[in-house]
């Protein structure tokens, strides 16, 4: 699995004229293997040899390349999702727990309005906020 992940990232970085570095490969592997959404702090705990700045910068790059998705939490934090297909999230506004939600959503009208405002839509994501079972 690591070989495939490494090849995909290596090709994307080289296509953009960027360097392939071990820290970039390590962060990518850890995010893609994670069973759930991960925070930069969790990655730093798993990869203590990397500086927080390297981890944040790499996550931003991976998001820009489309290898991860950034998801904002109600408390202003950020988690990273290795699922990059169009899907949605339910987020607990008390504890911050985030779960993927599989549900069809018609976005044509929103995408048309975004286009009229001069935007090109890269991906679609709906975040639904509420209280999880534990916090209720």
Dump pLDDT digits (tens) for 29-72.
999 998 889 999 999 999 999 999 999 999 999 999 999 999 98
The ranges of the chain annotated as CATH 1.10.10.10 are: 1-84
d(CA 62, CA 81) in angstroms, rounded, equals 11
The alpha carbon torsion through 86, 88, 31, 85 (nearest 10 deg) reads -10
User: Helix H segments across 16-132?
Assistant: 22-33, 40-46, 52-65, 108-116
Q: Tell me, which fold does domain 85-136 have in CATH?
A: Dna Ligase; domain 1 (3.30.1490)
The ranges of the chain annotated as CATH 3.30.1490.190 are: 85-136
Assigned CATH for 1-84? 1.10.10.10
d(CA 18, CA 101) in angstroms, rounded, equals 34
Dump pLDDT digits (tens) for 4-25.
889 999 999 999 999 999 999 9
User: Scanning the structure block, which residue is given the tokens 């408390």?
Assistant: 75
User: Scanning the structure block, which residue is given the tokens 């008390």?
Assistant: 94
């Amino acid at each position: 699995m690591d070989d495939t992940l490494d090849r995909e990232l290596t090709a994307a970085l080289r296509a953009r004229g960027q360097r392939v570095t071990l820290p970039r490969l390590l962060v990518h592997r850890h995010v893609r293997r994670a069973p759930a959404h991960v925070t930069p702090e969790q990655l730093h705990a798993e990869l203590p040899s990397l500086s927080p700045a390297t981890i944040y910068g790499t996550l931003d790059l991976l998001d820009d390349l489309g290898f991860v998705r950034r998801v904002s939490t109600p408390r202003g934090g950020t988690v990273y999702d290795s699922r990059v297909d169009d899907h949605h999230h339910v987020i607990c506004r008390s504890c911050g727990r985030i779960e993927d939600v599989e549900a069809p959503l018609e976005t044509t009208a929103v995408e048309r309005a975004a286009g009229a405002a001069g935007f090109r839509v890269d991906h679609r994501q709906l975040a639904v906020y509420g209280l999880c079972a534990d916090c209720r």
